[in-house]
Structure 1
């Protein structure tokens, strides 16, 4: 189970699980020589004049994917402090506004991760599933961040090596199991270094935000309009901190709190998954066929913990060569907590597993890791580690610190605390030193920024949204009182209307607005 700070929309997290059951032209990079107010203090100053050739580039758009979509390749410097050095190629895509109504420019989208493909998200959901009135007036656009999918992807392990990595026991019971776990983290990091050493120091969120400003200018937009979900909120907030004068209509849905350390993020996310599981458990016991019992939430938790303990001793068959281990089962449960519409699948998977068949829980875990039936993994987890480990110093310096922190994590979640505490050790062995630090983002001078928080969000706890909205000089908090990860386009007319109104006419939600 490697779930540390993997933050993405339910549409991305559960895609595989579902299978089983005219802006004005602006090429002037007038963005300042360094970080803007409240941006990451680790962001190095750059020579904006030297970047003019990137801001002035013209893209060669061509038809791709489904009807109406266009793709291109955009160039960016590998190292923004050396703009005349090595270049990298970034995959970008768009779907032109369909009308009627006056075109409002481009709307860039990002589904989170870090590591989620924005282009895949555009083609499979945002470009066809966003409200028609939004798609009518915006060119829907996406850029795979550097290191992700079509943009110089980070590579680390073979499919078989990744299988072994996901199966490693992440709730070690003795010194030998701790040694095995740390060896797995080290092998993962060494694989990334062996395959992607030149790229690893240059895939930070700051780098990706600078790429976004290039894309804004190349698209011909004076201002960036953007909807970022989950980790995409950190990317969007980082952009606003770096380029506050270039922000247009920005929506940050399922917000991260940039002021928290890796240890704080991981521990608070652990509590978020506990909140989400308790909500699932209440729903489960309200019926008559809950596979984990019908007495109480505490009884459901206790039975799940017992089930994980049994798997720790003896994994379950799945009808294939891979078995369902404790780590994979835990990941499968967590995957389903991202979206309450997946709760029936989770009940079905648990029912099957409790009768000896681990196939359905394994499928949920595979969806989380983006593993296909041929054993091929996307680069999601590789990019996720590369970005996370560069953005913040590691949560722990070694196993002894994890052991000392276990009571705190287990208090945050009796079910998931142990495993998520040990998962927080992964960046400890990363080959590239972190360039970012925890920091507040104020983005003084930015246009209104709408920050959306869900009260029982498993992956981005609601208090993160409150914190980010209070940090941003122009932040406006929009609250969804409900379950699941993120809120826009997930069934709340109140949320959708508020965000659509902001995107279409620029009016942010009223202060303190809450939706159900």
Structure 2
């Protein structure tokens, strides 16, 4: 059991049947709809509709898919003519939730803002949902570390989900990053947009890279928040990146007089604690709220490191304090995290899309030898697999490997702003730095003390301001006043 699987509960709608067509001259269309995915403020001027494209562009008899799109009109009386297109990370997460919060988006002060759902995700038709997978996550989290049992659970879930999606006529080979990029290009052409800007985050920065490579002509500028380079083999590095990032944060605590005085030698103490608990797991008892039964969990280093990995930017100042609580056997936070495991499993929204992307684009390029080595290399997290999906799962999923070019770096002189969080272990700063060498007209901003997804940090919208400044002047490195004011966090040292 890994506490990070809790995240699946928050992203876990039924898949819609596809419509067969027989026209050899099919053209993508955009059809407006009065029924929206979310309730939008009456103050906001917008258009909602569905982009209709072929699932398989190479087959004129392919099924059509329907992709929801919001076009939010600028608050400006004289908006700039080049809109922003935004699609979120994942893969498999919906972009449509953002539609409820447009009043907070600075971008609308200057230009229209187009919110684009990726094919196969929650509000697309079809949505590649896997309730079987969510049920397996739920069962595995409560299985007390019977690896044989949990491996079997996920393999059975992958097989059942794969079969139910294929029975609906869905071709899982066409739910990939390059197909999403082609969908966005179709939307641009259907809406007759001459120039546009692109806002991407995390996984969707890969979509941005494919658009830059394959459809560059109409792109004016691109913001990549927490970029994931095409050429990176994510699974091979994820554990190493996690340990490197927490090492940096705890080293910063030790270099801070107040933090170090309160938590001396915290880095070594925490790593030794993780190593010891990997050998002798921490026993934690939680009452099951459904039946009052006491459930016993045995937590190893791979589970307990979630004190760092599950924290967001707003919680960064608390991390040394929370680690010290754990070292002193105060299990309050651990028990709170474990309590989430008793929530009913979700519907597995978008998990099929996630599986299709990962098994076609990441798994085939991974070295299984490296992944095996990384799983046992670090004594603090021994047993923690760096793979998002294990080899056996992708073999069951059975999608075709994408072309080698999808695992190669892009080169471009299109203006690009790269944004990183200093303590982001998911897409570390070093990845953006490597991309900047090949993007000859790029700038890179690193937000001190922040984690993943700086432009979505609602408690401090400085990264969003920087992105908007860049869209307005893409040949100038943005330098909003707020950026200079961001310092490393003032670490919490006492209970408040």
TM-score (norm 2): 0.75
Shift of 1:504: 1.9
Hey, what does 2:108 align to over in structure 1?
135
Hey, what does 2:69 align to over in structure 1?
92
1:480-504, CA deviations, whole angstroms, 9 ceiling, x for partnerless residues?
3443113335477875554222212
Alignment partner of 1:123 out of 81, 88, 100:
100
Alignment partner of 1:153 out of 117, 127, 130:
127
Shift of 1:474: 4.1
Kept in 1, the 8 Å contact 2:263–2:324? The answer is: no
Q: For the residues of structure 2 that align with 1:87 and 1:293, how far apart are their CA atoms?
A: 58
Hey, what does 1:317 align to over in structure 2?
286
Hey, what does 1:268 align to over in structure 2?
237
Distance 1:219 1:393, change over 3 A: same
Say how many residue pairs are matched. Answer: 449
The RMSD of aligned alpha carbons is 4.1
SS of match in other structure, 1:240: helix
Q: For the residues of structure 2 that align with 1:469 and 1:333, how far apart are their CA atoms?
A: 31
Hey, what does 2:198 align to over in structure 1?
226
Distance 1:485 1:422, change over 3 A: closer
Kept in 2, the 8 Å contact 1:480–1:487? The answer is: yes
Kept in 2, the 8 Å contact 1:107–1:141? The answer is: yes
SS of match in other structure, 1:509: coil
1:19-53, CA deviations, whole angstroms, 9 ceiling, x for partnerless residues?
xxxxxxxxxxxxxxxxxxxxxxxxxxxxxx97762
Q: For the residues of structure 1 that align with 2:9 and 2:129, how far apart are their CA atoms?
A: 22
Shift of 1:377: 4.4
1:332-365, CA deviations, whole angstroms, 9 ceiling, x for partnerless residues?
43553442535538956994894456442236x7
Q: For the residues of structure 1 that align with 2:276 and 2:394, how far apart are their CA atoms?
A: 29
Hey, what does 1:499 align to over in structure 2?
467
Shift of 1:82: 1.5
Q: For the residues of structure 2 that align with 1:484 and 1:259, how far apart are their CA atoms?
A: 22
Kept in 2, the 8 Å contact 1:395–1:428? The answer is: no
Hey, what does 2:270 align to over in structure 1?
300
TM-score (norm 1): 0.73
Alignment partner of 1:246 out of 218, 241, 246:
218
SS of match in other structure, 1:75: strand
Hey, what does 2:27 align to over in structure 1?
53
Gap runs ≥5 in structure 2: 12-22, 487-496
Q: For the residues of structure 1 that align with 2:105 and 2:284, how far apart are their CA atoms?
A: 41
1:462 aligns with 2:429: yes
1:81-119, CA deviations, whole angstroms, 9 ceiling, x for partnerless residues?
114421111122232212244243432222211122111
SS of match in other structure, 1:451: strand
Hey, what does 2:338 align to over in structure 1?
362
1:224-278, CA deviations, whole angstroms, 9 ceiling, x for partnerless residues?
32111111111111111110112122101111121123xxx22323222223323
Shift of 1:307: 4.5
1:309-347, CA deviations, whole angstroms, 9 ceiling, x for partnerless residues?
5557x4531553576564894584355344253553895
Q: For the residues of structure 2 that align with 1:196 and 1:92, how far apart are their CA atoms?
A: 24
Spell out the pairing of 1:272-287 with structure 2 (5 A cutoff): 272-281=241-250
Shift of 1:434: 2.2
Q: For the residues of structure 1 that align with 2:9 and 2:109, how far apart are their CA atoms?
A: 26
Hey, what does 2:48 align to over in structure 1?
71
Shift of 1:153: 1.8
Kept in 2, the 8 Å contact 1:453–1:466? The answer is: no
Hey, what does 1:509 align to over in structure 2?
477
Q: For the residues of structure 2 that align with 1:316 and 1:395, how far apart are their CA atoms?
A: 41
Alignment partner of 1:421 out of 383, 386, 389:
386
1:183-202, CA deviations, whole angstroms, 9 ceiling, x for partnerless residues?
24422321331222324211
Kept in 2, the 8 Å contact 1:402–1:421? The answer is: yes
Hey, what does 1:144 align to over in structure 2?
117
SS of match in other structure, 2:81: coil
SS of match in other structure, 1:252: strand
Q: For the residues of structure 2 that align with 1:342 and 1:506, how far apart are their CA atoms?
A: 31
Kept in 2, the 8 Å contact 1:259–1:440? The answer is: yes
Structure possessing the higher radius of gyration over alpha carbons: 2
SS of match in other structure, 1:221: coil
Q: For the residues of structure 2 that align with 1:404 and 1:336, how far apart are their CA atoms?
A: 24
Kept in 1, the 8 Å contact 2:202–2:227? The answer is: yes
1:471 aligns with 2:441: no
Shift of 1:65: 1.4
Shift of 1:169: 7.2
Q: For the residues of structure 2 that align with 1:474 and 1:86, how far apart are their CA atoms?
A: 40
SS of match in other structure, 2:469: helix
Spell out the pairing of 1:168-247 with structure 2 (5 A cutoff): 179-197=148-166, 198-247=170-219
Q: Which has the higher contact order (CA 8 A, sep 6+)?
A: 1
Kept in 2, the 8 Å contact 1:252–1:451? The answer is: yes
Q: For the residues of structure 1 that align with 2:323 and 2:127, how far apart are their CA atoms?
A: 33
